[in-house]
Structure 1
Amino acid sequence: MEQPDHDLVRSNFHIAMFPWFAMGHLTPFLHLSNELAARGHRITFLLPKKAQTKLQHLNHHPHLITFHSITVPHVEGLPKGAETASEIPLSSIHFLTIAMDRTRDQIHDFLNASAADPKHIIDMIVFDLAHWIPDIARGLGIKSIYYGVICAAVYAAALVPAPECNSVPVTVTEERQRRNPPPPYPSSTVVMTRDYEVRSLIAIREPCGEGVTFYQRVITSTKECDAFCLRTCRELEGDFCDYLEAKYQKPVLLTGPVLGLNKIPQQLEDRWAEWFGGFEAGSVVFCAVGSQWIFEKDQFQEVLLGFELTGLPFLVALKPPLGCETIEEALPDGFEERVRGRGVVFGGWVQQPLILSHPAVGCFVHHCGFGSMWESLLSKKQIVLVPQWPDQILGTKLMAKELKAAVEVEREESGWISKESLKEAIKSVMDTESEVGVMVKRNHEKWREIVSEAGFMGGYVDRFVQNLKQIV
Structure 2
Amino acid sequence: MYRSYVGGDPDGKFLRDGFLDNLTSWGLVVNSFGDLEGVYLEHLRKEMGHTRVWAVGPVKPIEQSGPTTRGGPSSVSADSITSWLDKCDDNKVVYVCFGSLAVLRNDQMEALALGLERSGGSFVWSIKEPTHVEGGYGRVPHGFEDRVAGRGLVIKGWAPQVLILNHRAVGAFLTHCGWNLVLESVTSGVPILAWPMGADQFINATLLEQLKDDDRAERQRAKQLAALRATVDGGSSVKDVESLIAHLVALGAAICK
Question: If the TM-score is normalised by the length of the shorter chain, which range does it land in?
Answer: 0.7 to 0.9
User: What residue number does 2:255 align with?
Assistant: none
In 2, Cα distance between equivalents of 1:385 and 1:319: 18
* TM-score with structure 1 setting the length: 0.45
Query: Equivalent of 1:452, from 222, 228, 247?
Result: 228
User: What residue number does 2:33 align with?
Assistant: 233
Q: CA deviation at 1:398?
A: 0.8
Instruction: Specify whether residues 218 and 317 from structure 1 end up closer, same or farther in structure 2 by C-alpha distance, changes over 3 A only.
Output: same
* TM-score with structure 2 setting the length: 0.78
Q: CA deviation at 1:205?
A: 4.9
| Higher normalized contact order (CA 8 Å, seq sep 6+, divided by chain length) | 2
What residue identity is the alignment partner of 1:461? V
Query: Equivalent of 1:217, from 18, 24, 29?
Result: 18
Q: CA deviation at 1:258?
A: 4.5
Q: CA deviation at 1:249?
A: 2.5
Q: CA deviation at 1:378?
A: 0.8
Q: CA deviation at 1:331?
A: 3.0
1:308-457 alignment, distance < 5 Å? 308-320=117-129, 323=135, 330-400=139-209, 404=210, 439-453=215-229, 454-455=232-233, 456=235, 457=237
Q: CA deviation at 1:261?
A: 5.2
SS of the aligned residue for 1:371 comes to helix
Larger radius of gyration: 1
What residue identity is the alignment partner of 1:233? F
In 2, Cα distance between equivalents of 1:379 and 1:254: 23
Q: CA deviation at 1:360?
A: 1.4
1:164-313 alignment, distance < 5 Å? 202=4, 204-205=5-6, 207=8, 209=10, 212=13, 214-219=15-20, 221-260=21-60, 265=66, 269-313=78-122
Q: CA deviation at 1:257?
A: 1.2
Q: CA deviation at 1:309?
A: 3.0
Unaligned runs of 5+ in 2: 69-76, 253-257
Q: CA deviation at 1:310?
A: 2.5
C-alpha contact 1:205 1:214 (8 A) present in aligned 2:
no
| Root-mean-square deviation over aligned CA pairs | 3.0
Deviations 1:364-402 (A, max 9, x none): 2222221111110011322212121221111111111xx
Unaligned runs of 5+ in 1: 1-157, 160-164, 166-201, 406-434
Instruction: Specify whether residues 461 and 207 from structure 1 end up closer, same or farther in structure 2 by C-alpha distance, changes over 3 A only.
Output: farther
C-alpha contact 2:67 2:160 (8 A) present in aligned 1:
no
C-alpha contact 2:58 2:187 (8 A) present in aligned 1:
no
C-alpha contact 2:33 2:58 (8 A) present in aligned 1:
no
C-alpha contact 2:177 2:194 (8 A) present in aligned 1:
yes
What residue identity is the alignment partner of 1:218? F
Matched positions, count = 236
In 2, Cα distance between equivalents of 1:295 and 1:315: 16
Q: CA deviation at 1:245?
A: 2.5
Instruction: Specify whether residues 263 and 270 from structure 1 end up closer, same or farther in structure 2 by C-alpha distance, changes over 3 A only.
Output: closer
Deviations 1:317-376 (A, max 9, x none): 122565269x7xx33355334312111222210111011111111112222221111110
In 1, Cα distance between equivalents of 2:177 and 2:171: 17
Instruction: Specify whether residues 350 and 213 from structure 1 end up closer, same or farther in structure 2 by C-alpha distance, changes over 3 A only.
Output: closer
Deviations 1:101-155 (A, max 9, x none): xxxxxxxxxxxxxxxxxxxxxxxxxxxxxxxxxxxxxxxxxxxxxxxxxxxxxxx
Instruction: Specify whether residues 471 and 385 from structure 1 end up closer, same or farther in structure 2 by C-alpha distance, changes over 3 A only.
Output: farther
SS of the aligned residue for 1:390 comes to coil
SS of the aligned residue for 1:212 comes to helix
Instruction: Specify whether residues 281 and 211 from structure 1 end up closer, same or farther in structure 2 by C-alpha distance, changes over 3 A only.
Output: closer
In 2, Cα distance between equivalents of 1:335 and 1:443: 35
Q: CA deviation at 1:452?
A: 0.7
SS of the aligned residue for 1:442 comes to helix
Q: CA deviation at 1:222?
A: 2.0
1:48-63 alignment, distance < 5 Å? none
